[in-house]
Amino acid sequence: MDGFLGDAQFEFRRHKELAEKAMGSLGDEEFFKKPAEAVNSIALVVKHLAGNLSSRWADFLTSDGEKPGRNRDGEFTLTDADSREELMAAWERGWETLLETLLNLNGEDLAKSVTIRGEKFTAMQAILRGLTHATYHVGQIMYVARLLRPDRPWLTMPPTGSKAWKGEYRKGGPASRS
């Protein structure tokens, strides 16, 4: 898959991997911990993003992205059924729905009209909207994980790592870092 669709799929996968690495360094207590009253736990962000991805990307070209059965408000409340395993299974289903949809699109589909909450977008606009939404929440997951475990290794370039990276880059080192 070349071009825009391939790039979008690459970026979605890259951010999914970053979130999973951040979550992988946390125990269950940290996964469910709210760092402050007005801050969502990682578990809630996972639940919300899983619901969003499942709704937006199922029948992407043929139905409104806000499915009638979605309970968005409920995505911000944990229940007894919301174990880490169940939340991560929902996370996987949401990402699978997204990635399978992108895999089945072609360049001609990008100009087609799709609807989200009754508002019309081109498929390309909806993909960009979905990418910015997912990366926003991945950033939240990474930030909360950093708050809870400040000692864990950096998943992106550390704040003081630019000089070392520039030297590595000039020597032919890793070409893509955040």
Q: Residue 172: what pLDDT? A: 53
pLDDT at 91: 98
Assess if residue 143 is contained within a domain. yes
Tell me the whole-structure pTM to 2 decimals: 0.89
* CATH number of the domain that residue 44 is part of: 1.20.120.450
Specify if 118 maps to a domain. yes
CB atoms within 10 A of CB 65: 22
| Residue 71 confidence (pLDDT) | 96
pLDDT (tens digit, 0 to 9) for every residue of the chain, 178 residues total?
Answer: 569 999 999 999 999 999 999 999 999 999 999 999 999 999 999 999 999 999 999 999 999 999 999 999 999 999 999 999 999 999 999 999 999 999 999 999 999 999 999 999 999 999 999 999 999 999 999 999 999 999 988 888 788 777 776 656 555 544 444 4
Q: For the chain, what is the domain count?
A: 1
Element (H, E) at 113: strand 113-116
116 DSSP β-pair partners: 119
Instruction: Evaluate whether residue 177 is within a structural domain.
Output: no
pLDDT of residue 161: 77
Bridge partners for 119 per DSSP: 116
Q: Would you say residue 82 lies in a domain?
A: yes
How many other C-beta atoms are found inside a 10 Å radius of the C-beta of residue 144? 25
Structural domain includes residue 176: no
Say if 175 falls within a structural domain.
no
Full residue range of the structural domain in which residue 11 is found: 3-170
pLDDT value, residue 165: 67
Whether 93 maps to a domain, the answer reads yes
Is residue 35 situated within a structural domain? yes
pLDDT value, residue 160? 79
Burial letters 96-125, b for 16+ CB under 10 A, else e: ebbbebbeebeeebbeeebebeeeebebbe
